[in-house]
Structure 1
Amino acid sequence: MVSPTAWQMERSFEQTNWHMLQDGRLCDVTFLVGNDIKEEVKAHKFILASRSPVFYAMFCGSLAESSNTIQVPDIEPEIFRALLRFIYTEDCTINEDNVMPLLYSAKKYENSRLTEKCKDYLNTQLSIDNVCVILQHVHKFDETELGQKCLEFIFEDGENVLKSDGFASLPKEVLQKIIESDNLNADELSIYDACKRWAVEQQKQKCKKQKYPGTELRQELGEIVYII
């Protein structure tokens, strides 16, 4: 006879699911997570397939995985575990250190609820120091609404944002969109200095030199020079 104090009877559906995962009970799939050092993370196909169309296709689709061991080299173990925690319980602690990789994971596995939680967090955290970094990532993720909010923030406080470290790492197409906007609140000299710093950073990534001739920087900027 099962004890009336068994954990199955005292907890919610989400809690019992999480308990089964933490104890490794009846897990039927193993993920090898991480790039340099791979860690084993076990889970339940039924739960994953019920919460993610990507996992459903992985386990139940016409091209379903034949192996019960799956490589996940593009997500770090702690992030993958946070993803699983949300899938199992709808609970997840989002902070400035994990929000971007969590957003990537949510997009990869098409978990729209976690995607929205990450976007809601980012919407409340925009600052001069991080807005360009956030814009760079949401551009890759094709998150138009959040990207537009980042642009509006940049336009309004252009003089300060142009001096931020993140500005020099923006993709060229995003940089051009900012520079050519009539809404950018910054003078021409500030825009020129920021674009020059951006070009230097691009050259550093390519050539690893200490000095860069003006011709190389103009070539890096291309048509942006005329927009300035």
Structure 2
Amino acid sequence: MYSSPLAETSAKRTFRALKCVLISSSDVFYEIFCENKDTDTIDVPDIFPEAFENMLRYIYTDEIDVTVEDALATMKCAEQYDLPPLAGHCLDSILRDLHASDQNCLRHLEKALTLAFAGDSVLENCWHYVDVHCEKILKSEQFNELPLTTLRMILAG
């Protein structure tokens, strides 16, 4: 049994998975379960349940079905558990969506900053989009709704 308590807005969820499947899919799980062979449960407090569920679905089915809304959190999860194909698919999904509109760019920028995301390519692409479309973004409704810290970062440029 694998528990994933979530951030402030979500309740704790429990996922069931086979150790042997997890160990065979990721060196990170291998290390977790080999360090403590008696471990049957792990807590993953820094991962959103939806992202963990997406990762488990990928591990079990080798299929990637991630919504744009969950892509960044799933990418963070995939990177944390060393699943490059899943992380790559999430990045592709984010980048396609990012360039679709100013609103999408600001949404992904805010999520990346909120998650303290280490995915440089997501932040780089967001900042590049902001630079290229600066005037349009400054005039957008979404710009006025950004938190003060993000506004300061954008204006500091």
Q: Which range, TM-score by smaller chain?
A: 0.7 to 0.9
Aligned mate of 2:64, from 87, 92, 111: 92
| Alignment counterpart, residue 2 of structure 2, candidates 14, 26, 31 | 31
> Is structure 2 residue 57 aligned with structure 1 residue 55?
no
Deviations 1:170-215 (A, max 9, x none): 756x954x4455xxxxxxxxxxxxxxxxxxxxxxxxxxxxxxxxxx
Q: CA deviation at 1:51?
A: 1.7
Q: 1:146 to 1:37 in 2, by over 3 A?
A: closer
Give the AA of the match of 2:15. Answer: V
Task: Structure 2 unaligned segments of length 5 or more: list them.
Answer: none
In 1: Cα distance, 2:66 partner to 2:117 partner: 18
**Which residue is 1:149 aligned to?**
125
C-alpha distance in 1, partners of 2:105/2:152?
Answer: 13
Find the aligned partners of 1:152 and 1:175 in 2 and give their Cα distance: 16
Aligned to 2:142: 165
Give the letter aligned to residue 121 of structure 1: S
Relative to structure 1, the CA distance from residue 85 to residue 166 in structure 2 (aligned partners, 3 Å threshold; closer, same or farther) is farther
Q: How much has 1:122 moved relative to structure 2? A: 0.7
Q: Distance in 2 between matches of 1:166 and 1:114?
A: 31
How many residues align structurally?
A: 148
* Secondary structure of 2:69 counterpart: coil
2:50–2:70 Cα contact (<8 Å) kept? no
Distance in 2, matches of 1:31 and 1:47, equals 13
Give deviations 1:4-36, integer Å, cap 9, x for gaps. Answer: xxxxxxxxxxxxxxxxxxxxxxxxxx1123346
- TM superposition score normalised by structure 1: 0.55
**Matched position secondary structure for 2:65:** coil
- Alpha-carbon distance in structure 2 between the residues aligned to 1:142 and 1:40: 26
Deviation at 1:128, TM superposition (A): 0.3
- The runs of 5 or more residues in structure 1 that have no matched partner are 1-29, 182-228
Comparing both structures, which one devotes a greater share of its residues to helix? 2
RMSD in angstroms over aligned alpha carbons? 2.7
Work out whether residues 72 and 94 of structure 2, in 8 Å CA contact, stay in contact via their aligned partners in 1: no
Partner of 1:104: 76
Point out the structure with max Rg over C-alpha: 1
TM-score between both structures, scaled by the size of structure 2: 0.76
The 8 Å contact of residues 133 and 170 in structure 1, kept in 2 or not, is answered as no
Alignment pair present for 1:132 and 2:106: yes
Deviation by residue 1:128-175 (Cα, 9 ceiling, x = unmatched)? 012123224445322223322222211121122123435733756x95
Answer whether contact 1:106 1:112 (CA < 8 A) is retained: yes
Contact 1:132 1:170 in 2 (8 A): no
Contact 2:33 2:39 in 1 (8 A): no
Structure 1 residues 104 and 145, CA, compared in 2 at 3 Å: closer, same or farther?
closer
| Percent sequence identity over aligned pairs | 27
